[in-house]
Chains A and B, each alone.
Chain A
Amino acid sequence: MLLLGTLLMGITSEQHSSASSIDSSSDPSAAAATSSSSFCAPMQSNNSARFDLSTELRLGLSISSSYYNDLFTTPTTTTRVQPLSWPPIRSILRSARLDKALDQKQASLFIKIYMEGIPIGRKLNLFAQDGYDSLMTTIAHMFLTTILCADRVHSDKYHVLTYEDKEGDWMMVGDVPCEMFLNNVKRLKITRADRC
C-alpha cells in the first residue's frame, strides 16, 4: 500500500511572517492595529529633506540605484520617530501579521524518534513536514537509511517506520490519514523490516 494515496494534505509550520498588506479599499478581517512602533524611520527635516531610507536598509530593503543617492540626506534636526511609509501597505495589517508571527500556538510538534539498535534518539518536528512522503524523506536523511512500506519487503536490509499511539500500541505509519496520524502519534521508531 502506498503511503501517498491516503494523503490529503501536509502540515507546515507557522511561518515567521512579518506583515501583510492590503490596500486601502480592501476587505477587512484584520485585528485592530497595535502600535507600529517597531517600525520607525527618522522624520524628514524641513530643509531640503528626503525621506531617509536608512532604516529600511537596516530592515533589508536595498536601494540599488545610485540615481537617487543625492536625494537622500540625513536629517540634521532632532527627529521624531515615525512609522514606516514604504512599502505602501496599511499598518493595521503590518501589525496584525506581526501578531501572527508571535503567535506560536500551532507552530511545532516535536516527537522523539529512535532507530532500532541505536540508543541515542533524535527529535523531529512533525508539523514542519509536508505530508507522509516528506516525513519519510526527512527521516531517511536523518538516519541515513531507506524507509519502506511494510508489505513490500521483509528483509534485514531495510527499515519501516512505526509509531506509538495514544493508546500505547505500536502501529505502522501510513495506514491512516496524515491528520489522524498527527493527532495520535506520541513517538516514532524505525524498526527492521523483517521484524514486522
Chain B
Amino acid sequence: MMNYFPDEVLEHVFDFVTSHRDRNAVSLVCKLWYRVERFSRQRVFIGNCYAISPERLIDRFPGVKALTLKGKPHFADFNLVPQDWGGYVQPWIEALARSRIGLEELRLKRMVVSDESLDVLSRSFTNFKSLVLVSCEGFTTDGLEAIAANCRFLRELDLQENEIEEKKNLWLGCFPDSCTSLVSLNFACLKEINLVALERLVARNPNLKSLKLNRAVPLEALQRILMRAPQLVDLGTGSFVLDRDSDDSETYRKLRGTILKCRSIRNLSGFLEVAPRCLPAIYPICLNLTYLNLSYAAGIHGSELIKLIRLCGKLQRLWILDYIGDKGLEIVASTCKDLQELRVFPSDPFGAGHAAVTETGLVAISSGCPKLNSLLYFCQQMTNAALIAVAKNCPNFIRFRLCILDPTKPDPVTMQPLDEGFGAIVQSSKRLRRLSLSGLLTDRVFLYIGMYAEQLEMLSIAFAGESDKGMLYVLNGCKKLRKLEIRDSPFGDMALLRDVGKYETMRSLWMSSCDVTLGGCKTLAKQMPRLNVEIINENDQMEFAHEDSQKVEKMYLYRTLVGPRKDAPEFVWTLV
C-alpha cells in the first residue's frame, strides 16, 4: 500500500520515525523505503568510527545534519588503551567539509580532536549550531577560539571531561558581540576562564538555559551571572566559597536573593570547591531539583550533605560520593521517592573503607525508591541476600553497574560467590540493557545471564568466571548483545572461536589479560574478514612476537565495512 504513495508522503511519515534503530529498520523494508529514508535522514549515529568511512556516510546520507561519532573503546577510560591508539576526527571533518554537507551538530565521544580539526569545522559549515565533546583530547584553547569566533549561530558548546591544554585564556572573548544565540555552555573541565568575557557573554545571551562553570568562577561572579540569567534550567557552579577575610556577608546575602529568583533551575552540579556554610543559599531551589550531581563536591559531607538531600524531594537523578554512607542512603530513600537513577562514587578508592557504602545502603534505596532503573554503585562489599532483595524491590533496572572495590570479594556473610545475587537481578529486571559485574563470581553467574538477560546490550566483566563455559553462556544466550568487554578473566580460544559469526552481530569485543592466544586471534581474523581483530602490544620485546601459543595481552575486535584502519600506530597489529 505504501508503495503507491509519492516519495514525499513516505518522507513525511518517516519524519515521525526518529530513533536511529527505527530508521535503520525502516531502511531494510524494501529498496524504495531505503532510498526515501536515506535521503531524508538528518541524524546519524556511528558507534564506532572505524566501522565505516566518512565517504560512505556522506554517500548514503547526503542530508545529514547531526552526527554522533565514538572512537576509543570504553576501557580507555580506565587507562587500558595506550595513548595514540587512534580515534581521530580529522578525516571525518575534512571529508564532510569537502562535500556539500550542511552539518549543524557534531557530538564526539572518546575521540582525538586537533585544533586544526576545530578550525576547519568552524569555517566549513555556516549553520553549525552544536558541538558536544565528551572525554576527548588533543586540542587546546586555540581550537576553542576558532569555534567561538567563526560559528555565527552557535547554540551549544558542551565540553564534558575533556583533556584540554589551556594556552591563553582568551577564547571566551572570541565570541563576537553578535553572538546572542547560545542556549548551552559548559566549560567545567577547564581550569581557567576569562571572567569579564563570561559575564558579558551571559548578559547578551538571553536564551541561555544550561550553564556549567569551572572552578575559576568565584561566588561573587556566580551571583552576577545568575542575576543576568535567572532563566537557567541547568546550572553547574564553579567555586562555591567565600573568602573568609573579605566582606562576605554582603555577597552571601546578595547571592541568596539572586538564587531566590532562579525558579527554573532543575539540574544542579559543580561545587568543585565548596564552603559548606554557603550552602543554605541554594536551599530554596532544592525542592525543584530533578537532577543533583555532587560527585565532585568533596567539600560537602556529613550533616551538610544530609541537610541538602532532605530538601530535594523531587529528585529523579542523584550522583553522589560515598561520603553519604549507608545512613545517608536511608535518608535518600525516604526523601527521594521519585528517584530513577543513582550513582555513588568512591571518595577514596584505595582506602581502608571507612566512609564507604555497603549492601545496607543499597537495600535501603531499593525499598524506598521502587522506580529506580539505573544504578552505578561503588561499594566496599555486597551480599547475595542484599542483591536478591534489591532485585525484588526494583524490577525495572535498565542499567545495573556494581563495583565492589575489592574485585574478587565474596559475600562477606556466607563467603559464597555473588552468582545468585546477580542472577536474581537479571531474572527480575527483564528490560536490563547494561550490566557490570564485580565480586567473586564463577561460571554460574554467566549461565544466569545467558538464560535471563534477553535484552542485554552491554556487559562488562572483570576478574570473573572459571572457564570458557562462562563466556560461552553469554555469547550463546544474549541475543541482543552489542558490546562485550572483559578483563582479567580465564576465557580463552575455545570460547572465542566457538561462534565467530556472533561478532558480526555485535559492535565490539574487548578482552584483556584473558587466556586468548595469538594463534586463536589469527584464526578468528582469517575466518571473519569483516572484523578488525586488533592486538595491542605495548611490549617492545621482539622476542615474544609471533608465537601463536603466546597469550594476548589486549585484544579489541569490531565489525567493520572498511577493512583494517590505516591510522593504526605501530603497537597495534591488525590481524588478517
List, in ascending order, chain B residues with CB within 8 A of A190's CB. Answer: none
Contact of A31 among B134, B215, B350 (CB under 8 A): B215
Query: A165 in the interface, Cβ–Cβ < 8 Å?
Result: no
Select the stretch in B224-232, B291-299, B422-430, B558-566 that faces chain A.
B291-299
Select the stretch in A80-88, A117-125, A146-154, A156-164 that faces chain B.
A80-88
Contact check, B249 vs A130: say whether CB atoms are below 8 A apart.
Answer: no
Dominant SS at the A interface? loop
Cα–Cα distance between A17 and B270 once the two chains are bound (Å)? 17
Interface residues of B in 107-166 (CB under 8 A from A): 110, 134-135, 159-166
Interface residues of B in 174-200 (CB under 8 A from A): 186, 188-191
Contact of A9 among B303, B343, B348, B351 (CB under 8 A): B303
Cα–Cα distance between A36 and B349 once the two chains are bound (Å)? 14
Q: Evaluate whether A46 and B298 lie within 8 angstroms (CB atoms) in the complex, with A31-B214, A65-B409 already known.
A: no
Interface residues of A in 35-87 (CB under 8 A from B): 36, 43-51, 56, 59-65, 67-68, 71, 77, 80, 82-87
Q: Evaluate whether A89 and B277 lie within 8 angstroms (CB atoms) in the complex, with A10-B302, A60-B351 already known.
A: no
Cα–Cα distance between A20 and B296 once the two chains are bound (Å)? 7
Query: B205 in the interface, Cβ–Cβ < 8 Å?
Result: no
Cα–Cα distance between A45 and B80 once the two chains are bound (Å)? 14
**Nearest CB on A from B467, distance (A):** 13
Contact check, A88 vs B462: say whether CB atoms are below 8 A apart.
Answer: yes
Contact check, B161 vs A11: say whether CB atoms are below 8 A apart.
Answer: no
Query: A135 in the interface, Cβ–Cβ < 8 Å?
Result: no
Contact check, B349 vs A89: say whether CB atoms are below 8 A apart.
Answer: yes
Contact check, B296 vs A30: say whether CB atoms are below 8 A apart.
Answer: yes
Contact check, A106 vs B275: say whether CB atoms are below 8 A apart.
Answer: yes
List, in ascending order, chain B residues with CB within 8 A of A103's CB. Answer: 273
Which B residue sits closest to A103, measured CB to CB?
B273
Cα–Cα distance between A43 and B462 once the two chains are bound (Å)? 17
Contact check, A27 vs B160: say whether CB atoms are below 8 A apart.
Answer: yes
Q: Evaluate whether A46 and B348 lie within 8 angstroms (CB atoms) in the complex, with A51-B488, A64-B409, A90-B77 already known.
A: no
Cα–Cα distance between A32 and B303 once the two chains are bound (Å)? 30
Query: B553 in the interface, Cβ–Cβ < 8 Å?
Result: yes
Contact check, B299 vs A46: say whether CB atoms are below 8 A apart.
Answer: no
Contact check, A27 vs B408: say whether CB atoms are below 8 A apart.
Answer: no
Contact of A86 among B166, B188, B376, B407 (CB under 8 A): B407
Cα–Cα distance between A194 and B323 once the two chains are bound (Å)? 43
List, in ascending order, chain A residues with CB within 8 A of B165's CB. Answer: 32
Which B residue sits closest to A88, measured CB to CB?
B78
Which A residue sits closest to B77, measured CB to CB?
A24
Contact check, A29 vs B270: say whether CB atoms are below 8 A apart.
Answer: yes
List, in ascending order, chain A residues with CB within 8 A of B544's CB. Answer: 46-47
**Nearest CB on A from B268, distance (A):** 11
List, in ascending order, chain B residues with CB within 8 A of A59's CB. Answer: 350
Q: Evaluate whether A94 and B188 lie within 8 angstroms (CB atoms) in the complex, with A12-B304, A22-B295 already known.
A: no
Contact check, A36 vs B79: say whether CB atoms are below 8 A apart.
Answer: yes
Cα–Cα distance between A82 and B541 once the two chains are bound (Å)? 17
List, in ascending order, chain A residues with CB within 8 A of B75's CB. Answer: 85
Q: Evaluate whether A15 and B403 lie within 8 angstroms (CB atoms) in the complex, with A28-B161, A65-B408 already known.
A: no
Contact check, B348 vs A19: say whether CB atoms are below 8 A apart.
Answer: yes
Contact check, A71 vs B550: say whether CB atoms are below 8 A apart.
Answer: no
Which B residue sits closest to A19, measured CB to CB?
B349
Query: What 0/1 pattern do residues 252 to 291 of B give for CB contact below 8 A with A?
Result: 0000000000000000011011011101100000000000
Q: Evaluate whether A89 and B215 lie within 8 angstroms (CB atoms) in the complex, with A20-B296, A130-B303 already known.
A: no
Select the stretch in A136-144, A167-175, A177-185 that faces chain B.
A177-185
Q: Which of B298, B343, B538, B544 has the most A CB atoms < 10 Å from its CB?
A: B298
Q: Evaluate whether A28 and B189 lie within 8 angstroms (CB atoms) in the complex, with A12-B301, A46-B541 already known.
A: yes
Among all A-B residue pairs, the 9 with the closest Cβ atoms: A29-B188, A28-B160, A59-B350, A179-B277, A83-B79, A21-B345, A24-B77, A17-B298, A28-B161
